[in-house]
Amino acid sequence: MAGAVAVKDRQWLPIAEIATQVNAGGLKAVDLVEQSLRTIADKAEYQAIIATLDDAARARAVAIDAQVAAGKSAGRLAGVPFIAKDNYLVFGADTTAASNILRGFQAPYQSTVINRLEAEGAICVAKANLDAFAHGGSTENSDFFTTKNPHDLTRVPGGSSGGSAAAVILDMAPFALGTDTGGSIRQPASFVGAVGFKPTYGTTSRSGVVAMASSTDVMGPLTRSVDDAALVYDVFAGPDLLDSTTIERDSAGYTDLAARDLHGVKIGVIKEYFEASLDAGVRSVIENGIAKLKAAGAEIIDVSLPSLPLALAVYYIVVPAEISSNLSRYDGQRYGYSNPDAKNLEDSYSGARGRGFGKEAKRRIMIGTYVLSSGYYDAYYKKAQTVRTKLVNEFAEAFTQVDFLVGPTAPTTAFKIGENTADPLQMYLADVMTVGPSLAGLTAIVVPTGLSDGLPVGMQLMAAQRADRALLELAKCAEELFV
């Protein structure tokens, strides 16, 4: 593949082992941070990173090493470098959400997720590229640059968390943070060969993360292994007084996973995913993965979700409506880009938003405003929410018949840069297999399953709301089977 790097062998120890060695004094946090920053610099051509937090990261590393030298534990993630998608509010660098309208914005506080990771000794070293405001599936909607796929520089890494996914596979850090509104962790995980975990809606705090669609936004990790994803999630999952939608975590936690015995486990294969326009290579890899699950003892059952073919249309009504509302705060008055030529308030509003927002943000604002407007609300938004409820009920009914659901993550492998930019509908179709679980608030994870023409394909595993631990255990088993 053009410009591809060797990505099979991971350069970092498992996260738990890194932290254990740092706490024991065998590894130094300062050395880990330097390794991470050096790798970021060496692989700058992939354009995965918007900004590095050199000074802040080095200062935290020194403090962690001093804490260990004083005989104190530095936490479960002691000295572990990580990369945050640039829609997380983090001290030490601008938070831009890859949009011109937020260039130069300094976060007044940090996100709850970042605070919880740092409380356990993790060190944020950089901010990753994304589609501006997380609107997209390729990073091509970033106002700054397009991230390249680690397996082929001519292809996208997926999106919107494409920078985070690429950074993990490029070994810039042991883990990265993404956000998943309709597939923005899972689809890039499939495109680059990472583990991408979308927890149950409400188990992760949205506080301090630039909002996209408030009813589906979920925070999650991108990693090289299921165990790493589970540990990171275990650190930041749970209720937060700053986010009223958050719910209680599993009392058993999400670590110390057992690779579960699949005998007696019922796994549903979603029929509609295989009736869609599914690439033959992707189909072959996923069917081979399903066969391995069956050979390991799982009972494979065909499952139909009749409303699933409507999920993409529902998503692109409901989500733009919420985007239209959430982006109204960017008005050029309090923070972000302000129109210097404005002669009155209306000019200030229109100038700031007209120049600051990119094409995709404007498109989604217009769609969202339209479907919420008088005369169209009942015809579009209300109907979409009705179908969403049907979809939720169909997923719930499916989980009375099976323990888990599986299917492809995306209809294709990573596509070429520029291939879909002229056709927004074609770009949206990259989400066709991930939006359903998002609309239903389910937990879902992508595990690398195989290669099609040298490009990664990941299987999407899904479970009912709050069944995150059980899903992680299934994913651990699948990970071992798919090696």
Q: From CA 7, how far away is CA 198, in angstroms rounded? A: 23
Query: How do strand 195-198 and strand 404-408 relate by DSSP bridges?
Result: unpaired
Tell me the residue type at 458. Answer: G
Half-sphere exposure (Cβ direction) of 83: Cα atoms closer than 13 Å: 34
SS3 (DSSP) at 463: strand
215 catalytic per annotation: no
CA 231 to chain centre: 16
- Burial readout 247-265 (b: 16 or more C-beta within 10 A, e: otherwise): eebbeeebbebebbebeeb
CB 444 within 8 A of CB 198: yes
Helix (H) or strand (E) holding 351: helix 345-356
Question: Which residue in 160, 190, 207, 307 is the catalytic one?
Answer: 160
* Angle in degrees, CA 201, 196, 175, rounded to 5: 110
- Rg of the chain over Cα atoms, rounded to whole angstroms, equals 21
CB 299 within 8 A of CB 438: no
Of 239, 247, 242, 234, which Cα lies nearest the Cα of 119? 234
- H-helix segments, 87-182: 112-119, 162-169
Helix (H) or strand (E) holding 287: helix 280-295
Phi, then psi, of 345 in degrees rounded to 5: -65, -40
Q: From CA 333, how far away is CA 313, in angstroms rounded? A: 34
Question: Which residue in 36, 111, 184, 307 is the catalytic one?
Answer: 184
284 catalytic per annotation: no
Total H helices, total E strands in the chain: 16, 11
Phi, then psi, of 443 in degrees rounded to 5: -100, 140
343 catalytic per annotation: no
Question: Which residue in 28, 85, 127, 476 is the catalytic one?
Answer: 85
202: left (phi over 0), alpha (psi -120 to 50) or beta: left
Phi, then psi, of 61 in degrees rounded to 5: -65, -45
Catalogue the active-site residues.
Answer: 85, 160, 184
